[in-house]
Amino acid sequence: MTSVGEILAVEDNPVSRKLLVATLSTQGYSVTSANTGREALETLRAGRPRRFDVVLLDVVMPEMNGYETLRAIKADRSLRDLPVLMISAVDEIESVIECVRMGATDYLAKPFNAELLRARIETSLTAKRLRDHELERLEQVQKLTGAASAVERGCFQESSLDDVARRDDELGRLARVFQEMAGEVRAREDRLIREVRDLRIEIDEARQNRQVAEITESEFYLRLTAEADVLRGIIGDPKVAGPDSSRSGAEHG
């Protein structure tokens, strides 16, 4: 059974375009058509980065021919890896060769054979899917290296690796191990922070107690306390002046 693929068919001739779309649809592909190279570029850019899998591009078109359209596709960073199959008449073979040199994947001669068309598309789809798979893997490897840097900076978020960790291959296992290890490191850091905070509180309390003891046990403090007691005795504070002061007050009474 033919694999489903998103195809953009670019053909200015209405009859040829209708035939091409009908053939591709019958073969199970999802097809979008464009009448000109300019319209094709607008359609591709509106759907980027990965809506379409293959472009079928006619060589001879008004306004912007296949050669110019291909050049624009290959100059666009988000489109340059898209497989492009050139559609040409037999007498346009020199132009097709130049297009292949520019990066076109393959070509089909008019009138095209339906089975050959399917074979060329399937080959292009297989190559693109392999490339997409490798690009996805590379992106996720970059996420892992980025996560390692984030751990060093102290700003790692475990959820940043969730999509990588869902993979069922070695890369996914590595992401899960990384998340687990990073979680353990964060837990140890949090515990250490709490212990340091508690230790600081204990140190502060001990320092305060020591400072209070140093003050209350100093000669200056003891002398000041004695002088305060005498002063309170003079002004008649029985609670502080002691029994002698009370007796003295009674005698005067």
pTM of the predicted model, to two decimals? 0.60
Structure tokens belonging to residue 127: 């190559």
Domain 6-134 has CATH 3.40.50.300: no
The residue ranges of every structural domain in the chain are: 6-134, 157-217, 219-252
Neighbours of 68 (CB within 10 A): 14
As a whole number of angstroms, the distance between CA 183 and CA 158 comes to 8
- Phi/psi for 49 (5° steps) reads -90, -20
Nearest CA to 21 out of 46, 71, 58, 48 is that of 58
Structure tokens belonging to residue 214: 């140093």
- Phi/psi for 80 (5° steps) reads -60, -25
Write the pLDDT tens digit of every residue in 3-23.
468 999 999 999 999 999 999
Sequence-distant (6+) residues with CB within 8 A of 56 are: 7, 8, 9, 10, 11, 20, 85, 87, 108
pLDDT at residue number 1: 36
Single-letter code of the amino acid located at 65: N
Sheet containing strand 54-58, edge to edge, reads 30-34, 6-10, 54-58, 84-88, 106-109
Write the pLDDT tens digit of every residue in 183-241.
777 777 777 787 777 777 777 777 777 776 776 777 766 777 777 777 777 776 555 44
pLDDT mean across residues, the chain: 80
As a whole number of angstroms, the distance between CA 4 and CA 231 comes to 103
Question: Mean of the pLDDT values across residues 132-153?
Answer: 80
